[in-house]
Amino acid sequence: MMKSYRKELWFETPTRRAYLNITPLVSEAVRDSGVAEGLALVNAMHITSSVFINDDEPGLHADFEKWLEGLAPEKPHSRYAHNTGEDNGDAHLKRQVMGREAVVAVTGGKLDLGPWEQIFYGEFDGKRRKRVLVKIIGE
């Protein structure tokens, strides 16, 4: 019988940009769902944050920062037409590059990730409360 499970994860980073490994939280949701075989969708519910899969290695995270700042520098804020009353035009572009969601297979009641793969919440306009949706479907 098909099951469906929904959980919201909430984050508030103290910095404008951050990368949080949320794999343990998503794994917990999979356990709570009771789904043994299916899919887990994990998506950012804000347009200035991201969910993606990659390695949990500090050098790589520093590379993300350097690369994303090269593509869409935060300052000067005036470079972005979107910055009318806000200063987060760069955050929207960073989210577009890093993506909105990740879908991971659930096999044997566990996330079926490859070697070194971890699920991350990427924050590009932090210092306020935002959420991530975890939706698990399967049997």
Q: What is the pLDDT of residue 86?
A: 84
* 134 neighbors 41 (Cβ within 8 angstroms): yes
CA distance 67 to 93: 12
Peptide bond into 14 cis (omega under 30): no
Residue 120 tokens read as 């991350």
**pTM of the predicted model, to two decimals?**
0.96
pLDDT at 84: 72
Domains, in order of start, for the chain: 3-138 (2.60.120.460)
**For 46-101, how does the pLDDT look when each residue is reduced to its tens digit (9 = 90+)?**
999 999 999 999 999 999 999 999 999 999 988 999 877 789 999 999 999 999 99
Q: How many CB atoms lie within 10 A of CB 23?
A: 18
Rounded CA separation 49/96 (Å): 9
